Amino acid sequence: MEAIRSRGAEYVPEADAPVAQRLFTQLIRVPVGSPAATRRLALRGDLSEEQWQVAQRLAATRLLVTGRSAEGGETVELTHEALIGGWEKLARWVESDRSFLVWRESLRHDMDRWERAERAAELLPTKVALAGAGRWVPRRADDLSPAERAYLEAGRAHQRSRTRRVRGAWSAVSFVVVLAVLLGSLFLVTRRESRDRDALATSRSLTQAFQDVAATDPAQSVMLALAAYRTSPTQEARNQLLRLHLAYADKSRVVSGLLGTVGGLQTSLDGNVVPATSKNGRAMLFTGVTTGNVRSAQVPSVGQVKYPMVSTDGKRAAYIQEDGVAAWFPVHADRAEPMGELHKLAPAPGAAIGTDHWQDPSMSVDGTTIVHRVLDKLVWWDLDSGAITRSTRAPTIQTDGSSDDVWIAADNRTLLLRRTGLGVNNSALTAFDPETWEHRVVAEEVSAIELSGDRTAAVVCGKQGEDTAVRLLRISDGSPQGKPYSEQDKRYKTGTCRPQAVGADGTRVALWSLDTLRLVDLLQDKVLSTVPSASMRWSSQLASADGKLYYVGFSESLITYTELPTGESVLQVGQQILTHDGGRTISLLADGSALQVRPTAPGTNDQLIAEAPRRTPFRKPRSTDLLRLSRDGRLLADLEGANVVAVLDASTLRRPATITAAEPPAPDSTAPPPILEDGKEPDFQHFFDLAGNVLTVSGTLVQQWDAHTGRELAHYDAKALLPTVGEVPHTAIGPYPAPNKVTVTVWGDPSVRIVDITTGTVTETVRTTEDVLAVQFDPSGRYFGLMRRGSIVELWRRDPLRKEIGPLRSTAEDSATPTVTQFLDGAGHFLIAANNAVRTYGIEERTLLASYEFGQPPNAFPSGRSYAFMDISKDARTVVYADPAGPGGVLPLDPRAWQSDLCRAIGNRTFTAEERRTLPVRIPARPPCASA
């Protein structure tokens, strides 16, 4: 693989590249419902002669491997699936062809159904499906197999024949009437099936359109995904909704429509009005961003718009083009057409060549004045008259690498000059009269300066030794307000000044540290909240609406609003599980100080139902310190010390007992990482048995305890099952669904023993595989999950003893990422939450019953990190997950909840008439966010 990455160009000469790309299109598929591409075996008959010749040459380089099918035909396929992501050239080809690959896979899926149904005519392509094929067939027919082209042609022939039959029917009306009486019910069934097929084809077309616009208009892509699921709730459409929900789970609003990379924006103080420009000079006005119903309008211009502006109340917006042309317009945020009449401002002499000195223009807070640098002058426009009211001397341009920014102060006369120098503590803020040039220093010898939204205060940050201090200054006299803030938490100390955004009056500031935002109240010298944050460009102003603060960011074509809680409502937890019904969470705080019970319903997680302190000194939870619930869900077991288990009431957190078990043996530094039961600690573990007693395992010693009194009931040492010579193997001891029994697995021994701990006798032996590591039985004891070396899972039947499903993908490719494996009932339904997916298998049915594909976390750093799964409710409808670069938390596996959240995120945006007319797919009449 390393050779391919570094020398891939040598394997595919430039002359062969076009044919090779078509060849690899035949060797790759994108399975329905999956975002990842996989390899595919291709027959020689599916390839052109040129493609086959290139395939033979590439087989000699070990990129491809040739062979023969069971029927004797020649075949070719990729040597290894890792090539798809590991070889940069192939990855680019796959990405550029993704839309075609997705469509072709859906075509093959439909064709396979048709073949399995003995080529039933009703499963031939519908009119909608044939219309979708019309996008690809004229130019990509060579990338379809003869069978696929024949399937499409059969569909066309069927549609032509159907049309002729309909016409012939009119000449035999009397016969049709009689026949309709006899076959009316059959007609209704057929019509329903036809509608379903049309809906499925439309849903797939919408999903494909989603992929086409995802990069240029993310909010529109959300609407297409919502429409696709509403039209036909396929697994593919459902998983797409899930991935979008996860991507925007921590966003209060998602705005797009510039059709290009966002170059700049400004917001009104409440964040409800946003004029924005793209890097190619397109300007858009967005309104209703914080009130719930987002509207947009393209701002007309005759040149490249560079500087967008808006008044603090959002009632006026303006812009200046690259050529110096300036204009403003009133904003009607509550109207369907939010943009009022455009008013051009008087041209400034020399503006066409002299406006770009890296100084943004400034609009006064009341929206009546704009000031901008033109050559060596500051030009002042009065918006009401459209005239230039004065022209004053501009600050001297510095040659030492420093930069200047100018604002109109709150009094509409004074100018504020921020001069940002190179190095540390080399910036200053000065207030001066532009007529007399009388000035006073507001702040100096600092590293960073940001103004409040009302321009009455400045937030400054300076280096002080190894630390930094953030201060609030009143602009009118430079006097300090509140107390200087210095970060005390080592997790967020960076030694650099990073004030990202400031509130309306400056008292609250968002500080950025690596991948985290800290909201600080400078009057109280207090951290109000801490939230995860991906790296992107941000507005320097915090938006405030209805008592909420929003951090406004933009990246690529997307504008996002992230709420910053004004109270510490983002719970810092180390472990979290769900009650059996999924209605509550039980959380162990990250510092190990307390347990908390909270509801899971949306908007209620700030309600505290119960809280209990833990014993001191606090044991900070590790990934292996799992909270355990009894089978009836009434009792909770919490590992408070290396061998101390607290038993608590799961509803009230009242403590009926504390158990001190035998000291665990010192951990073996050579032992492999924990692999089953959600990552149990190898030297000590605890769980409830069938009767509700607590079982602790210290090395090989099993102890049974009364959960209500803490009294020891029985003990058993599995050391008797270990070999007496040679190296002592590792053992895995787990629960068994029968009173007083456990399972004992000795690594290297295929026999799993079921032991009665009250008598010490082996009651049953289940022979499995030589490399078995652990087993997990379902509540009935008829089925079990088996984990083999490499954390490979298999699902077995007990009687007759045989493997029914597996091997499944390893659950521990990243041993640091928690996973969940559990039986849902006694009917052999087994759930695995790992590898960015939640999947349920039916052992009796020998199939995958349900799958929720999370996809790769969108902002994970480093790339390749996966979602972690902490717990799943017994009904498999709610999951607790963690995003390596986001908030995570409780997630209902309910598309209705995702639809509601996504509609709120896009501000209930609807398709405009223009979008319905120009998008290359039929848009359903029903709005994507219409209530069910």
Q: What pLDDT does residue 289 have?
A: 95
Beta-carbon-side half-sphere exposure of residue 103 (alpha carbons within 13 Å): 24
Residues 6+ apart with CB under 8 A from 672: 730
**CA angle centred on 97, ends 91 and 99, rounded to 5°:** 125
Q: What is the pLDDT of residues 534-587, one digit of tens each?
A: 767 889 999 999 989 999 999 999 999 999 988 755 567 888 999 999 999 999
- Tokens, residue 641: 């010390």
Judge contact between 628 and 678, C-beta under 8 A: no
* Token representation of residue 688: 């409830």
Q: Which helix (H) or strand (E) holds 744?
A: strand 741-746
Which residue bears the tokens 């797009």? 256
Which phi and psi (to 5°) does residue 919 adopt? Answer: -65, 140
Distance CA 605, CA 576 (A): 13
| Least confident stretch, 127-136, 178-187, 374-383, 752-761 | 178-187
**pLDDT for res 105:** 85
Q: How confident is the model over 898-915, as a mean pLDDT?
A: 93
Model pLDDT for residues 795-805, shown as the tens digit of each residue: 999 999 999 99
DSSP 8-state code for residue 331: B
Q: For 362-382, what is each residue's pLDDT tens digit? A: 999 999 999 998 888 889 999
User: Using the 8-state DSSP alphabet, how is residue 491 labeled?
Assistant: G
pLDDT tens readout for residues 584-635: 999 999 889 999 999 998 877 778 999 999 998 888 887 777 899 999 999 9
Query: In the prediction, which pLDDT does 816 show?
Result: 66
What is the overall mean pLDDT for the chain? 86
Confidence of residue 679 (pLDDT cuts 50, 70, 90): very low
Q: What is the pLDDT of residue 681?
A: 46
Separation of alpha carbons 549 and 228, rounded Å: 33
Q: In this model, does residue 427 exceed pLDDT 80?
A: yes
Q: What is the pLDDT of residues 807-838, one digit of tens each?
A: 888 776 666 678 899 999 888 899 999 989 99
Per-residue confidence (pLDDT) for residue 656, from 0 to 100: 95
Greater confidence (6 vs 411) lies with 411
pLDDT, residue 97, reads 84
- Residue with the larger pLDDT of the pair 863 and 855: 855
Among the residue ranges 129-143, 273-287, 584-598, the one predicted with the least confidence is: 129-143
Q: What does DSSP assign to residue 97?
A: T
- Examine the pLDDT at 146 and tell me if it is beyond 60: yes
Strands 467-474 vs 480-485: parallel, antiparallel or unpaired: antiparallel
- Look at residue 147 in the predicted model and tell me its pLDDT: 87
- Predicted confidence at residue 188, as pLDDT, reads 45
Whether 305 has a pLDDT exceeding 60, the answer reads yes
Q: Is the pLDDT of residue 81 over 90?
A: no
Say what the pLDDT of residue 668 is: 56
Helix, strand, coil in percent for the chain, rounding step 5 = 20, 35, 45
pLDDT of residue 79: 84
CA–CA gap between residue 317 and residue 308 (Å, rounded): 8
**Cα–Cα–Cα angle for 359, 365, 371, nearest 5°?**
35
Range picked from 210-214, 233-237, 609-613, 924-928 for highest mean pLDDT = 609-613
223 compared with 302, residue with greater pLDDT: 223
pLDDT of residue 181: 46
pLDDT at 166 over 60: no
The answer on pLDDT for 288 being more than 90 is yes
The pLDDT confidence band at residue 680, using thresholds 50, 70 and 90, is: very low
- Averaged pLDDT, 89-113: 85
Please tell me the predicted confidence (pLDDT) of residue 129: 82
Question: E strands, 644-711, where?
Answer: 644-649, 657-660, 684-688, 694-698, 701-705
Mean pLDDT, rounded, for 185-189 = 46
Q: Across residues 79-84, what is the average pLDDT?
A: 80
Residue 424 has pLDDT above 70, yes or no: yes
646 token code pair: 């607290």
Q: How confident is the model at residue 85 (pLDDT cuts 50, 70, 90)?
A: confident
> How would residue 675 be classed by pLDDT, with cut points 50, 70 and 90?
very low
Q: How confident is the model at residue 165 (pLDDT cuts 50, 70, 90)?
A: low
E strand residue ranges, 580-683: 584-589, 594-599, 610-613, 628-629, 635-639, 644-649, 657-660
Asked whether the predicted pLDDT for residue 312 surpasses 70, the reply is: yes
Run of H or E including 132: helix 127-133
> Is the CB of residue 380 less than 8 Å from the CB of residue 372?
no
Closest by CA to 228, choosing from 204, 197, 196, is 204
Contact 507, 485 (CB under 8 A): no
User: What local confidence, expressed as pLDDT, does residue 370 receive?
Assistant: 96
What's the pLDDT score for residue 25?
Answer: 86
The residue with greater pLDDT, 4 or 450, is 450
